[in-house]
Structure 1
Amino acid sequence: MPQGQPQKKGFGRLTIIAGIVLVLLIGGIGFGVYHHAQVTDYSALNPKATTKKQIEVKSGSSAQVIATELKDKGVIRSDKAFVHYVDTKNVAELKAGYYLLSPSMTIKELTSKLTQGGSSYPLNGEGTVTVREGENADAIATEVANKTKFSKKEFLAALNDSAFLGRLKDAYPGLLDDAINATDVRYKLEGYLYPATYDVKDATNVREIINQMVANDYTQFSPYFDQIKQSGMNVQQVMTLASLIEREGVSQENRNIIAGVFLNRIKVNMPLASDVAVKYALNTDKANLSNKDVKVDSPYNLYANAGYGPGPFDSPTVSSVKAVLNPQDQDKGYLFFVANLKTGEIYYSKTYDEQLKNTDNVQADNDAVGSASSSSK
């Protein structure tokens, strides 16, 4: 018996070790099974959910960043499963924008939505007012009237309120000096209401909303004041050209070239001949203008009047101001351009004869776009 005691102790230690190994093995298997379920369960978090949550996907966001946002907002069960799905299914690019997504959606449905591209603006719209790129004061006033307790009439009246304008001028030095002194303008603050979404739920009067927009405009454009001075133009002139370019060009390259065309025209005292300006004068958004339209008696008619015009025609973005300050191909002597409204392509020319040929080439497409636009109203 004495000789067997050590054997029992050794056996006991082996039993304990074996038990520990077994527990670890079972635990490891269990964790592995759990982890696999976490990363491969693509089902909806709550198939019966009826609510939707707004998610903003910022430009350049990785799948992991998007997954974390979706999990934090209670849209998905597992960020790991989302990333795993994107990786293993070779999901196409997840595009930036605002989305309304529901916990009732599977990961497959969510990624399908996210590859289509979201809205450029918040979608719930509660307590917010959105100024869109190239939108004019009348359209902004309509948005304010629809989203707040303030009327369109009082919003527009505030844009020309001299006492209010004076306070804004003092608050944002260098921005509004030329605008306030401008003559023949429809609204003194046209062009100075920066495109963005604004929180207005706590606004007690319409001036507080306008102040937000002008403050943002100052933030965006004050870094360019020195460059504007060096350009030989004043702020009002730059903003006016930028407001035309905002609507005339889509890509940054086209905006830069169009800026060069406009500056070449001003240099030789040619009217800018912008359809955007005539449409503003007529308060119309129709695609094609008639010969009668371009003869309208208005200081905003830049077919009939040379120079910059009274002031901005809409709310331009920084990219359009940059185009004015950094024109492209100005040395090529372009004086004309025409856009194909169907394809978006823009054709530039030095002479009127070349312009006529380019216009003939796009006329059929532009007429078709015009007809479609008219029939949809």
Structure 2
Amino acid sequence: MKAKSVNGLQAGHYDLSPSMDADTIIATLQKGGKPIEVDVDTKLTVVEGMQLEQIAQMVEESTPIKAADFLATANDASFIEELKSQYPSLISGLDGVEGLKYKLEGYLYPATYDYIAGTNVKDLIKQMVGKMNLEYQKLKEDMGNTNLTFHQILTLASIIEKEGVTDEDRKLISGVFYNRMNNDMPLQSDITVLYALGEHKELVSIKDTEVDSPYNLYKHVGLGPGPYNSPSLSAIQAAIYPTASDYFYFVADIETGNVYYATTLEEHEALVAKYVNKNSSQESSVSSSQAE
């Protein structure tokens, strides 16, 4: 990139954001900054694994921005095009993707953001997408380790985010999912069923797994239309660098959170009986941390 000769930069305090391109930043610095710092009105924390609807509700509870406006903006086609012009390599991954509930689900990076009074909904979302873009640029070289697009990586990472807690388990779980995808097996993650239902609970029933939705990975092979939440960097890295194994199944002890892995369905069912169904009959339910 050729360096620019820039003159006329003014001292002062500036409110810059990751969504600004170089020309916008230069123009802002040439106008002159504010003599005193702008007080941060509040801090907004996007927690790892938060869904877009939860982020919107958190924003409404802390700012004048309504959740409905936040969600509508995050799904607005013209706004998506605006983001694409700023972050073409990141947002172009949405091109041609059908069936998305929310186009920007998964693209708002989990972090703490400064909210200054008067910030509009577009600028707030741009701040969050801009942070994801910064992380994406750091990960681009790593993408050579997988045949998946970054949109697919975010989708897989969002499932891994809720299925495992430790980095070790997340990479092992990622490997299980790759094994299943490579063998045209459905991922059968309860996380995807809960997203399809719009519910949050520990166990899903067999009836739940029959919900008619492209996000239901009990009924559909592959990853589904798009992310199920905003995954952490740990989960994204696990999606890019899975741990190789012969495992096709995993289940979590619902009391301890420990994850156990199996190669065959018979081994898996024995683990389910031992760690999930040990205290009660679960004939109508399946663990929310297992692939079958």
**Normalised by the shorter chain, which TM-score bucket?**
0.7 to 0.9
Match of 1:349 in 2: 262
- Structure with a larger share of its residues in helix: 1
Selected match of 1:174 from 89, 97, 115: 89
1:358 equivalent to 2:277? Answer: no
Match of 1:165 in 2: 80
**1:181 is paired with a residue of what secondary structure?**
coil
Match of 2:23 in 1: none
Selected match of 2:232 from 300, 308, 317: 317
Q: Is the 8 A contact 1:129 1:200 kept in 2?
A: yes
> Cα RMSD between the aligned structures?
1.9
Q: Say which structure, 1 or 2, has more relative contact order (CA 8 Å, 6+ apart).
A: 2
Match of 1:154 in 2: 69
- Give the drift of 1:365: 5.9
Encode CA deviations 1:124-165: one digit per residue, 9 max, x unaligned.
x96122110000001000001111111111100111111111
Q: Is the 8 A contact 2:48 2:231 kept in 1?
A: yes
Q: Is the 8 A contact 2:254 2:276 kept in 1?
A: no
Amino acid at match of 2:258: E
Amino acid at match of 1:337: F
Runs ≥4 residues deviating over 3 A: 364-368
- Give the drift of 1:177: 1.1
What is the distance in 1 between the residues matched to 2:72 and 2:95? 14
Gap runs ≥5 in structure 1: 1-124, 371-377
What is the distance in 2 between the residues matched to 1:269 and 1:130? 38
Selected match of 1:198 from 100, 104, 113: 113
Amino acid at match of 2:253: N
Q: Is the 8 A contact 2:41 2:117 kept in 1?
A: no
Q: Is the 8 A contact 1:165 1:180 kept in 2?
A: no
Counterparts of 1:152-301 in structure 2 under 5 Å? Answer: 152-301=67-216
Identity among equivalent pairs (%): 41
What is the distance in 2 between the residues matched to 1:230 and 1:347? 26
Amino acid at match of 2:164: G
Q: Is the 8 A contact 1:341 1:365 kept in 2?
A: no
Encode CA deviations 1:67-98: one digit per residue, 9 max, x unaligned.
xxxxxxxxxxxxxxxxxxxxxxxxxxxxxxxx
Q: Is the 8 A contact 1:277 1:300 kept in 2?
A: yes
Amino acid at match of 1:163: S
- Give the drift of 1:228: 1.8
What is the distance in 2 between the residues matched to 1:340 and 1:147? 36
Q: Is the 8 A contact 1:129 1:144 kept in 2?
A: yes
Gap runs ≥5 in structure 2: 1-39, 286-292
What is the distance in 2 between the residues matched to 1:367 and 1:217? 42
**1:344 is paired with a residue of what secondary structure?**
coil
Match of 1:131 in 2: 46
Larger Rg over CA atoms:
1
**In the comparison of the two structures, how many residue pairs are matched?**
244
Q: Is the 8 A contact 1:203 1:209 kept in 2?
A: no
Amino acid at match of 1:175: L
What is the distance in 2 between the residues matched to 1:174 and 1:229? 15
Counterparts of 1:34-45 in structure 2 under 5 Å? Answer: none
Amino acid at match of 1:345: N
Encode CA deviations 1:164-194: one digit per residue, 9 max, x unaligned.
1112112123111122431101000000001
- Give the drift of 1:349: 0.6
Amino acid at match of 1:129: L
Amino acid at match of 2:158: S
What is the distance in 2 between the residues matched to 1:235 and 1:254? 21
**1:238 is paired with a residue of what secondary structure?**
helix
Normalised to the residue count of structure 1, the TM-score between the two structures is 0.62
Q: Is the 8 A contact 1:262 1:272 kept in 2?
A: yes
Amino acid at match of 2:220: N
- Give the drift of 1:236: 0.9
- Give the drift of 1:269: 0.7
Greater displacement, 303-312 / 199-208: 199-208
**2:186 is paired with a residue of what secondary structure?**
coil
- Give the drift of 1:275: 0.8
- Give the drift of 1:224: 1.4
